Amino acid sequence: MSISTAFKFTTLGCFILLSAAKVVPVLAESANFRTLNLSPGFSRAAGTARGFTGGSYSLPSIANSDREGKRCLGFGDTQPDHIMVLQKDFSRLQLQVDTQGKDTTLVVKGPNNTILCGDDTGSNKDASVSQAKWSAGTYEIWVGTFDAGARWKYTLTAQQ
């Protein structure tokens, strides 16, 4: 093989590799706001994080619904708002958003692409998800709104 031919293959290979790198989505390694690192018996402070909603990314593009058939709704950022790392399995856990009554949604993506979707909590417009048997691992959490770009301050609370 001539040097000219080898150069063409090398250049073409680099071009294809760089083009593919632009198409492959980046895995979330960070969040917009605080990461929650939780072990059973965690303190209230360890299970509380603050942030604000925002973004025009359609959260149903993460998943249309969760395994219980609850629809994933709203708009948020392309990057998760929070990362939650469960150091051990939990027998029960609840995530609750508090915006003082704004209409929020939650999408949680966990190990093995487990999806949880949350919307209104009874008469409260703030979203929550509650489930038994949370596996140890990393969870990505998006706090969304029904209005793309709406910017509301919130507190996210994890409770056992």
* Residue 5 in domain: no
pLDDT one-digit tens code per residue, 15-74: 433 333 333 333 456 899 999 999 999 999 999 999 999 999 999 999 999 999 999 999
pLDDT of the residue at 64? 96
* Residue 13 in domain: no
* Residue 19 in domain: no
Which residue did the predictor score with more confidence, 132 or 120?
132
* Residue 109 in domain: yes
Rg (CA), the chain: 20
Number of separate domains in the chain? 1
SS3 of 105-121: the string is EEEEECHHHCEEEECEE
* Residue 81 in domain: yes
* Residue 17 in domain: no
Q: Is the pLDDT of residue 3 over 90?
A: no
User: In this structure, what are the phi and psi dihedrals at residue 83, rounded to the nearest 5 degrees?
Assistant: -110, 135
CA distance 94 to 10: 53
| pLDDT bucket at 149, cuts 50 / 70 / 90 | very high
pLDDT one-digit tens code per residue, 99-113: 998 999 999 999 999
CATH number at residue 76: 2.60.120.380
pLDDT of the residue at 9? 44
* 8-state DSSP, 146: S
pTM: 0.81
* Residue 137 in domain: yes
* Residue 9 in domain: no
Q: Containing domain of residue 75, as a range?
A: 31-159
